[in-house]
Structure 1
Amino acid sequence: MLLINKTLLKMSKGFRGYIALIALLKLLTLAGIAMFAQSISGFLGGLFDPGSVDFRESVRTAFVSAVIILISEVLIGDVEYRCTAKSRIVLRERIFSKILLLDVGNIEKMGTTHAVAAAVDGIEAMQIYYSKYLPGLIYCAISPFYLFWKLKEASFTAALFLLIVSLILLPANNFFRSVVRKLKDSYWVSFLNLTGYYLESLYGLTTIMLFGRDRERAGILETKTGDFCRKIMGIMRLNFKAFLFSDLVIYSSVFITVLMVTAQLSKGEISLASALLTLMLGYGFFGSIRILMHSSHQALAGVAASQNLSRIFDIDTGRPSKPFVQKEESDGFVGIRLENVEYSYEDRDGVLNNVSIDIERGKTTALVGQSGSGKTTVSGILMRFFDPQSGEIRFEGTDYACYEPGELRKKIIMVPQFVSIFSGTIEDNLLVAKPDATIEEMHKALELARLKDWVTGLPDGLKTDVGDAGAKLSGGQRQKIGIARVLLGNAQYIIFDEATSSVDFESEREIWACIGELSRMRTLVVISHRLSTIRRADRIYVLSGGKVAERGSHEKLMEQNGIYTNLVSEQAVLEARGVNGEVAV
């Protein structure tokens, strides 16, 4: 069945030479087979007419053709391996390059499962399409004409018949294509659902076991697995029907060819050597088709995977860009200024509505508000994970759009709620921020993060292994390493986005002490649910319903007796009861 996919063809740039070479070697193999068949048929035909054939020449030709076939088959295996390796490297480089361009905002929209499936399972499925299916399709399109050219002198009628049937057979398989299109879509969707649910279950295994939901989870996983198996069986049934149809046509055609050649031979219209050559090469018209159909099942998975990749590559990664123009604010303000900023997600309207915020350099600015008020969205816009739909953002007088995201993040950086720790050593994780950092610089950063004493007290110090994704570290240690890493980056502006929400009380106290010390050296933007810790912020912005409802110092906001006062009072009551509730997350 024909599986021509524009996305896969477009992505084959970089290893098309391998695809063409595999097809060429297959044709060389076919030429060797034709040469071998010609010599053997001539040899056998000459047994009845000894003077008509040079037996030594026939043996020599058969030997040469056998060597050609052997070498071609060995080379095909080698080139297929190289094509597979090259396609994996090239495609994964392109996918990862695209994912890096997507930035955090689009990555969250796409989802981790889609990214993993595209970069791992998708590539594994697609490389079969390139190394097996496409070369087979090229070979399949050329070989019947070559065989017709070789057989037309031996038996023009039989050769023409076989050519016509071979040209009709492959397109005839497209009868199954409408079903294939439906199956390939549902196949990949089912695969993504199964993979996503499995990964989610694996990551949350501790929680699942704690609440005794393992049997329920296993049941759902079994249902999803069964659905995926049914999709695979549906494709296999379709392949079986296609093979049954093709084999019926192929063997019927070969049988008819035998009758035609036998009739011509009995009438003396062709020689015995010509009859034998036609019979020996007649199946070759269809051998390429059967090989192509064998690889179509795996190629189908590649076509299905390409749809997921196509969605990734179709995501617009263009960012607004303007010429760099440095100018001072009219009121002498130095810092980051958001004016009338609006932003909304695809499934939510009005996350930010006409928001204006001033983040003055050298000061500490705090953002508070109920969950969903837009605090984290503001931090994402400040980091340029995404751009606002309207409004203006200026960094020390220069439009944000003048900076590339990577350049901007050298000036402003963030400590998120959950810090990502990578497998390796403490030193490896710190060097992410500054690859050429010295031991003294790392120790200084760790000291500011209240972690130096712990690290230097370890037997291996900075060379201590943190485990898989930091599994050997506590929540507080992870956050402190994240803070130290940020400090190594030496950015003037630092955003703390709920940086203490996932740590114990002692670690939280130490981190806030660190933040307090940093406030005298850097410009801080602090987002925290613990309002008691932001009392000393120079300016506090209270967000409500995507708007700035109140602004001012802690004292001024308390005097207003508004939203901020209510939040502080509610949290005070909860803390008095010993409940550390996240009232203002």
Structure 2
Amino acid sequence: MYFLKRFIKYYKPYKAVFFIDMFCAMIVSLVDLAFPQILNLLTNHLFTQNAELILKSLPWLGLGLLVMYIVRYLGRYYITYQGHVMGARMESDMRQELFDQYQRLSFSYYDQNNTGEMMSKLVSDLFDISELAHHGPENIFISILKIIGSFILLLLINIPMTLILLAVTVLMLVFSVNQNKKMRAVFMDNRRKIATVNASLQDSLAGIRVVKSFANEPVEHKKFERSNLQFLDSKERNYKRMGTFHAGNNFFQGMLFLTVLVSGGFFIALGQIKATDLAIYALYINIFINPIEVLVEFTEMFQKGFSGFKRFVEVIDTQPEIVDTPGAKDIGVVKGDIAYNHVSFSYDDTNMVLEGIDIQIPAGKTVALVGPSGGGKTTLCSLLPRFYDVTAGSVTIDGKDVRNITLESLRKAIGIVQQDVYMFAGTIRDNIAYGKPDATMEEIVSAARQANIHEFVMGLEDGYDTYVGERGARLSGGQKQRISIARVFLKNPKILILDEATSALDNESERHIQDSLEELSKNRTTIVIAHRLSTIRRADEIIVISDDGIVERGNHSFLLERNGLYAKYYNMQFEGLTD
């Protein structure tokens, strides 16, 4: 009932279409039920009259039946057209809601879930839900009308024979319910297995360049084959269960015909029913059995749609870990004072990544974080825009705890150039403008110039309208890095986080970009994560972070004179002995 209530709410925007659809379904059902009854009346009354009366009545009879079937045609057209459109719109609403939920979910959700599985829920699951949304109420309503209507009319023809028919139908119903329970688990397993196939496919295709560089196509073949065969095994068990279900129901349908013929012959012999009435009875049996067949087929659709909707609800009900706290306020005018106050952080509440970190960054200053990989530098930066929340302590901007600032205003005040550059499918213009969606062309070009990418773009045949390919496949690493830097120039935030912002650049490009970044950093609070220590010599403060926390801090000259860990890293790079 919980899932039913959740499902029904998606019909609310389309109540008018739904009720018209049900009305049309009722008209179609009544027309189907009327034909045997009309035949019965004609056989027992009109067709027993003289030829002249019959011939005179036929045009009116034909006209009446024509009108009846035109009405049926219009009803069926509306059911098929508008009914499907309603289902498609509900599917669209759910897909948008699911997409928006994916956007709301925190980084921790993406750390634990595969993109392929999420796409499976967004596409294939929702298609089956759409089919259920349209065909479900319609099939149930039409089937119930026909079953009840034909059953009443069968009772009017012969009560004892109809009660025998009812007994066989009850046995068929018990069988169907029992098999239906067994099918539910199989269909849910199907969903999980196809999601695994999608996840394997997405993972392999996204890393196709790595696959080919290692000549590991056979490895990927085995990985995909494993998930594919698991899905095949699930489908085989699914079809075995469906075979039992459909064959069993067809057997009971045969028993219904057997019951009609044997009991009909018996009651004819007793003189309790006429042979012509048995023929009419047989017509109603077809009307009685047809909706049962529809319900049997609907069971499969229901199980697919239900399992898909259940997975859909699981995602919708997932609560994002990072949300606006009650009473959160807009950040307002940002000065740029940043403070990490005794900050500790753990991804799983067991192993501490950061512990007892205290850092104060005055507005407009540049602080560089250096140290070995895994020391928590990127994690420390991720706490500032609240990609994750601190386990203990607090992070503040201008004295305001970031947890008390609205996420939208907080993240708009912070510009990030990440180490792993992501390009969206589209043009160079689109990717630069992502930093400010309403930017003018002049602003985009200005940002590109500052990022030292304008001349390269103008050298392309389509200039700023050049398509970058999936994940920027048509661009080099350095070109993608400079476009991502241009985004931040365009955004023009008060606080900058540069996570290996020049790591993919050659030495010449790095010098140009470094000058641009230093210009951008003026009067802005900047946090730089760098392994190439030549890029941070002018930083106001350099903080060396290792697995033990902050081990050194000071400017470039001070740390070199101290001859500690920073000096060790710097000398190793100068001698070309490290990355």
Decide: shared fold, TM above 0.5: yes
Residue 494 of structure 1, CA deviation: 1.1
Aligned-partner SS, 2:157: coil
| Residue number in structure 1 paired with 2:346 | 344
The reply on whether 1:305 has 2:308 as its aligned counterpart is yes
Describe the superposition over 1:220-242 as per-residue Cα deviations: whole angstroms up to 9, x where unpaired. 32232222122112111111100
Segment drifting more, 252-261 vs 355-364: 252-261
Segments of 5+ residues of structure 2 without an aligned counterpart are none
Per-residue Cα deviation, 1:179-213 (whole angstroms, up to 9, x for no partner): 32332232122112211111211122222222221
Q: For residue 405 of structure 2, what is the aligned residue in structure 1? A: 403
Q: Which of residues 520, 525, 528 is equivalent to 1:526?
A: 528
In structure 1, the residue matched to 2:424 is: 422
Structure 1 residue 6, shift from structure 2 partner: 6.3
Secondary structure of 1:424's aligned partner: coil
Counterpart secondary structure, 2:572: helix
Matches within 5 A, 1:209-248: 209-248=212-251
Other structure's SS at 1:529 match = coil
User: What corresponds to 1:74 in structure 2?
Assistant: 77
Which amino acid letter does the alignment assign opposite residue 325 of structure 2?
P
The answer to whether residue 485 in structure 2 is matched with residue 483 in structure 1 is yes
1:181–1:7 distance in 2 versus 1, CA, 3 Å: farther
Aligned residues of 1:8 and 1:303 also touching (Cα < 8 A): no
Judged with a 3 Å threshold, the aligned counterparts in structure 2 of structure 1 residues 164 and 443 are, in CA distance, closer, same or farther, namely same
Which stretch has the larger CA shift, 334-343 or 5-14?
5-14
AA at the equivalent of 1:377: T
Contact 1:23 1:136 in 2 (8 A): no
Is 1:321 aligned to 2:326, yes or no?
yes
- Residue type at the aligned position of 2:408: G
Residue 40 of structure 1 corresponds to 39
Closer/same/farther in 2, CA of residues 3 and 32 from structure 1, 3 Å limit:
farther
Whole-Å separation in 2 of the counterparts to 1:140 and 1:558: 84
Q: Distance in 1 between matches of 2:10 and 2:346?
A: 33
2:466 matched to which residue of 1?
A: 464
Letter in 2 for 1:312: V
What's the CA shift for 1:20? Answer: 5.4
What do the CA deviations read for 1:279-329 (whole angstroms, capped 9, x no partner)?
211232332232233244344333333343233212113432335499999
Is the Cα contact below 8 Å between 2:498 and 2:528 reproduced in 1? yes
Shift of residue 178, structure 1, vs aligned partner:
4.2
Q: State the shift of 1:245 in Å.
A: 1.1
Q: Is the 1:25–1:75 contact (alpha carbons within 8 Å) kept by the matching residues of 2?
A: yes
Say whether the 8 Å CA contact 1:45–1:273 is kept in structure 2.
no
**Partner Cα distance (1:363, 1:163) in 2:** 85
Does residue 1:191 correspond to 2:181, yes or no? no
Question: Does the residue aligned with 2:131 lie in a helix, a strand or coil?
Answer: helix
* Counterparts of 1:515 and 1:81, CA distance in 2: 55
Between the aligned residues of both structures, percent identity stands at 26
Q: Distance in 2 between matches of 1:31 and 1:391?
A: 71
Alignment of 1:137-148 (within 5 A): 137-148=140-151
Query: What residue identity is the alignment partner of 1:569?
Result: K
What stretches of structure 1 of length at least 5 have no aligned partner? 581-585
Q: Which amino acid is the alignment partner of residue 347 of structure 2?
A: Y
TM-score (structure 1 length as normaliser): 0.88
Q: Once the 2 structures are TM-superposed, how far is the Cα of residue 493 of structure 1 from its aligned partner?
A: 0.6
Distance between the aligned counterparts of 1:325 and 1:425, measured in 2? 33
Q: Give, as a single letter, the amino acid of the residue that structure 1 aligns with 2:568.
A: S
Q: What is the one-letter code of the residue matched to 1:185?
A: M
Q: Deviations over 1:382-418 (max 9, x none)?
A: 1222322332222212232332211112211211112
Contact 2:29 2:142 in 1 (8 A): no
Task: Check the 8 A contact 1:531/1:568 in 2, yes or no.
Answer: no
What displacement does 1:558 show?
4.3
Which residue among 73, 96, 100 is the counterpart of 1:97? 100
Matched, 1:258 2:257: no
Q: Kindly provide the amino acid, as one letter, of the partner of residue 257 in structure 1.
A: V
C-alpha RMSD of the superposition: 3.3
Match in the other structure for 1:356: 358
Q: Give the 3-state SS of the residue equivalent to 1:382 in structure 2.
A: coil
Contact 1:426 1:463 in 2 (8 A): yes
Instruction: Give the aligned length.
Output: 573
- Residues 341-390 of structure 1 deviation map (CA, whole Å, 9 limit, x = unaligned): 33322386322323332232101012223222222222222122232233
Partner of 1:583: none
Aligned runs of 1:265-304 on 2, under 5 Å? 265-270=268-273, 274-304=277-307
Q: Distance in 2 between matches of 1:71 and 1:166?
A: 32
Q: Distance in 1 between matches of 2:2 and 2:480?
A: 49
Deviation at 1:337, TM superposition (A): 1.7
Match of 2:327, as an amino acid? K
Alpha-carbon contact 1:264-1:270 (below 8 Å) kept: yes
Q: Which residue of 2 aligns with 1:500?
A: 502
Deviations 1:437-482 (A, max 9, x none): 2333222212221122323444543333333442222111111111
With 106-115 and 409-418 compared, the bigger mean Cα shift is at 106-115
Q: Deviations over 1:232-291 (max 9, x none)?
A: 121111111001111111220232133334444444434556433322112323322322
Q: Using a 3 Å threshold, how does the CA distance of structure 1 residues 136 and 507 change in structure 2: closer, same or farther?
A: farther
For 1:327 and 1:83, the matched residues in 2 are separated by 44
CA change 1:223–1:147 in 2 (3 A) is same
State yes or no: 1:107 paired with 2:103.
no
Q: Take 2:393 and 2:332, find their aligned partners in 1: how far apart are those partners?
A: 18
Letter in 2 for 1:572: N
Output the amino acid matched with 2:157.
A
Deviation of 1:105 (Å): 4.2
- Contact kept, 8 Å, 2:191 with 2:308, in 1: the verdict is yes
- Give 3-state SS (helix, strand or coil) of 2:156's partner: coil
Q: What is the identity, as a one-letter code, of the residue corresponding to 1:402?
A: N
Q: Is the 8 A contact 2:500 2:530 kept in 1?
A: yes
1 CA distance for matches of 2:78 and 2:234?
Answer: 36
Q: In the TM superposition, what is the alpha-carbon distance from 1:571 to its structure 2 partner?
A: 5.6
- Pick from 363, 371, 382 the counterpart of residue 384 of structure 2: 382
Do the aligned residues in 2 keep the contact of 1:414 with 1:497 (CA within 8 Å)?
yes
TM-score (norm 2): 0.88
The answer (yes or no) to whether the contact 1:166–1:286 under 8 Å persists in 2 is no
Structure 1: distance between partners of 2:331 and 2:120: 44
Structure-2 separation of matches of 1:163 and 1:78: 35
What's the CA shift string for 1:55-79, capped at 9, x where partnerless? 6465555444433333332222213
Q: Do the aligned partners of residues 410 and 346 (structure 1) sit closer, same or farther apart at CA in structure 2, a change above 3 Å counting?
A: same
2: CA distance between counterparts of 1:328 and 1:198?
A: 46
CA distance in 2, matches of 1:46, 1:181: 51
Q: Is the 8 A contact 1:40 1:58 kept in 2?
A: no
Alpha-carbon distance in structure 2 between the residues aligned to 1:32 and 1:159: 22
Larger displacement relative to structure 2 (406-415 or 35-44): 35-44
Q: Is the Cα–Cα contact under 8 Å of residues 39 and 58 in structure 1 kept in the other structure? A: no
The 1:20/1:150 distance shift into structure 2, 3 A limit, reads farther
Quick check: 1:569 aligned with 2:571?
no
1:200 to 192, 195, 203: 203
Structure 1 residues 575, 11: CA separation in 2 closer, same or farther (over 3 Å shift)?
farther
* Alpha carbons of structure 1 residues 75 and 325: separation in structure 2 relative to 1, 3 Å: closer
Aligned-pair CA distance for 1:22 = 4.3
Tell me if the contact between 2:537 and 2:556 (Cα under 8 Å) persists in the aligned partners.
yes
Following TM superposition, by how much is the alpha carbon of 1:95 offset from its aligned partner in structure 2, in angstroms?
0.9
Amino acid at match of 1:321: P
